[in-house]
Amino acid sequence: MSNSAPFTILEIRTNDGLSLRSWQSKGDPEKKTFIFFHGNAGNAADRMPTMEILLQAGHSVVLAEYRGYGGNPGKPSEDKLIMDARLLMDEIIKQGVNEQDIILMGRSLGTGVATFLATEYDVAALVLISAFSSLPEVAAEYYPFFPVSLLMRDRFNNLDRIKNITAPLLVFHGEMDRIIPLPYGLKVYDAAQGKKAFIRLPGQGHNNLDMDQINLHVLKQLRL
């Protein structure tokens, strides 16, 4: 990781007795702390190289990991992921980080977790990458002949929750995204009430996003 601070394990104990490991790199305490929630593919450790620009700028980064991912025990569900994310947030705050100095970042599935947290904590900003309106709505695009909205237990309704968020919002979306098409990200953006910006990523899809480009935009847009 070039000259940036190394990542160390951040362990939390869940309410149902699991020990979950995420990753943390502490930077300048006077700067922001980014908490990143990854998508369905891969794991938190895979994201370490994509955070280099934020680390070089002196910010702290937490790569949140989920139960059932990255070698962690347990089975993921919407309720459980949200419960675990609350514990992670509270642990970061216990370390002395003011919640107003925390920037939540979510990508794909992680936008559901980050958006929920932004309804409960007074964070500095919310950054959504490849956001969806709700899981049933996106799934219905792929399975139009089945009652997906009735069958899907985990909904992650970003569209409803984004209306209750007051933190500045940045939404990034690849114009060539075929898994969560661009209109879904725009739908979430349009529903947001506060200060916001939408950044289209030409030529980029769902899995080939240029995170260096995104993080540079984040630093510029938020004047960090």
Q: Where are the domains of the chain?
A: 8-221
Q: Residue 46: what pLDDT?
A: 84
Classify 211 as helix, strand or coil. Answer: helix
Q: How does pLDDT run along the chain (224 residues), one tens digit per residue?
A: 445 568 999 999 998 999 999 999 999 999 999 999 998 877 888 889 999 999 999 999 999 999 999 999 999 888 999 999 999 999 999 999 999 999 999 999 999 999 999 999 999 999 999 999 988 788 777 756 656 555 566 688 999 999 999 999 999 999 999 989 999 999 999 999 999 999 999 999 999 999 999 999 999 999 98
Domain at 8-221, CATH class: alpha beta
Q: Are 3 and 56 in contact (CB under 8 A)?
A: yes
| One-letter amino acid for residue 155 of the chain | R
Q: Which two tokens stand for residue 72?
A: 């962690």
- The rounded distance, in Å, linking the Cα atoms of 97 and 99 is 6
Q: Which two tokens stand for residue 35?
A: 């908490």
- The rounded distance, in Å, linking the Cα atoms of 14 and 150 is 29
Q: Are 100 and 123 in contact (CB under 8 A)?
A: yes
Nearest to 148 by CA among 139, 157, 156, 160: 139
- The rounded distance, in Å, linking the Cα atoms of 39 and 144 is 23
How do 169-174 and 196-201 pair as beta strands? Answer: parallel
Q: Residue 152: what pLDDT?
A: 60
Classify 8 as helix, strand or coil. Answer: strand
**What's 49's DSSP letter?**
G
Q: What is the pTM of this model?
A: 0.92
Q: Residue 147: what pLDDT?
A: 60
How do 8-13 and 19-25 pair as beta strands? Answer: antiparallel
Q: Residue 145: what pLDDT?
A: 63
